[in-house]
Chains A and B, each alone.
Chain A
Amino acid sequence: MATIQKTLKGLWSLIVGLKVTGKEFCRPWITVHYPRQEVTNLDSYRGHIDLVPVSANPLKPLCIVCRRCEEICPSGCIHIEGHMPGEEKEAPVRQLLLISNVLLPHSAAREPVCATDKTLRVLDGFTLNYNLCSLCGLCVQNCPVSSLTFSQDVYLAGASRKDFELDLLQRLKGRAGSAKLKHAA
Chain B
Amino acid sequence: MTQILQLLMHPLVHLLVALIALLTFIALNGLILVYVERKVAGFIQRRPGPFEVGPHGLLQPLADALKLVGKQLVMPREADRILFWAAPLLSFTPVAICLLPIPFGPHLLGLNVNLGVLLVLAFSGLNVLALCLAGWGSNNKYALLGAARAVAQSVAYEIPLLLSVLCVAFTCGSLNFVDITASQTTHGLLSWNVFSQPLAFLIFFVSALAETNRAPFDLPEAESELTAGFHTEYSGMGFGLFFLAEYSYMIVVCAVASVLFLGGWSGPFFSGHWWMLGKIYALILIMMWFRWTYPRVRFDQLLNICWKWLIPLSLINLLGTALIINLVR
Partners in one complex: yes
A: residues with CB less than 8 A from B are 7, 14, 17-18, 20-22, 24-25, 27-31, 33
- Nearest residue in B to A16 (C-beta to C-beta)? B293
A-B contacts besides A28-B46, A31-B47, A33-B48, 13 pairs, CB < 8 Å: A7-B309, A17-B293, A18-B290, A20-B293, A21-B293, A25-B43, A27-B46, A29-B43, A29-B46, A30-B46, A31-B46, A31-B48, A33-B51
Closest to A31 in B: B47
Question: C-beta contact mask, B29-56 vs A, less than 8 Å → 1, else 0?
Answer: 0000000000010111111100100000
Give the chain B neighbours of A33 by CB distance below 8 A: 48, 51
Contact between A24 and B45 (Cβ–Cβ < 8 Å)? yes
A-B contacts at CB below 8 angstroms, number: 35
- B286: shortest Cβ distance to chain A, in Å? 9
| Measured CA separation A24–B292 after assembly (Å) | 11
Minimal Cβ-Cβ distance residue in A for B293: A21
Question: A120: shortest Cβ distance to chain B, in Å?
Answer: 52
Q: Which residue of B lies closest to A27 (CB)?
A: B46
Contact of B44 among A7, A14, A24, A30 (CB under 8 A): A24
B residues contacting the other copy or chain, number (CB 8 A) = 15
Binding site for A on B (CB under 8 A): 40, 42-48, 51, 289-290, 292-294, 309
B306 to chain A minimum Cβ distance, whole angstroms, is: 14
Q: Which residue of A lies closest to B40 (CB)?
A: A25
User: Nearest Cβ distance between residue B54 and chain A, in whole angstroms?
Assistant: 15
Q: A83: shortest Cβ distance to chain B, in Å?
A: 52
Q: Are B289 and A18 in contact (CB under 8 A)?
A: yes
CB distance from A13 to the nearest CB of B (A): 10
Contact between A21 and B44 (Cβ–Cβ < 8 Å)? yes
6 inter-chain pairs at a CB distance below 8 angstroms, sorted by A residue, are: A21-B292, A25-B44, A25-B289, A27-B46, A28-B46, A29-B43
A31 and B42 CA atoms in complex are apart in Å by 10
A17 to B294 CA separation, bound complex (whole angstroms): 7
A14 partner residues in chain B, CB cutoff 8 A = 294
What is the minimal beta-carbon distance from B176 to any residue of chain A, in angstroms?
Answer: 34
Please report the C-alpha to C-alpha distance between residue A28 and residue B44 in the assembled complex, in whole angstroms. Answer: 10
A33 to B51, CA, bound (A): 9
Complex Cα gap A33–B47 (Å)? 9
- Smallest distance from the beta carbon of B47 to chain A beta carbons, Å? 4
Bound form: Cα–Cα A31–B309 in Å? 41
**Closest beta carbon of chain A to B324's beta carbon, Å:** 23
Would A24 and B294 count as touching, CB distance under 8 A?
no
Give the distance in Å from the alpha carbon of A21 to the alpha carbon of B291 in the complex.
Answer: 11
For A23, the closest partner residue in chain B by CB is B44
Q: Known contacts A14-B294, A17-B294, A33-B51; is A22 also within 8 Å of B45 by CB? A: no
Cross-chain contact of A18 among B40, B43, B45, B293 (Cβ < 8 A):
B293
Partner of A30, one of B47, B289, B293, B294: B47
How far, in angstroms, from A25 to B42 measured CA to CA in the complex? Answer: 8
CA distance A20 to B51 in the complex (A): 24
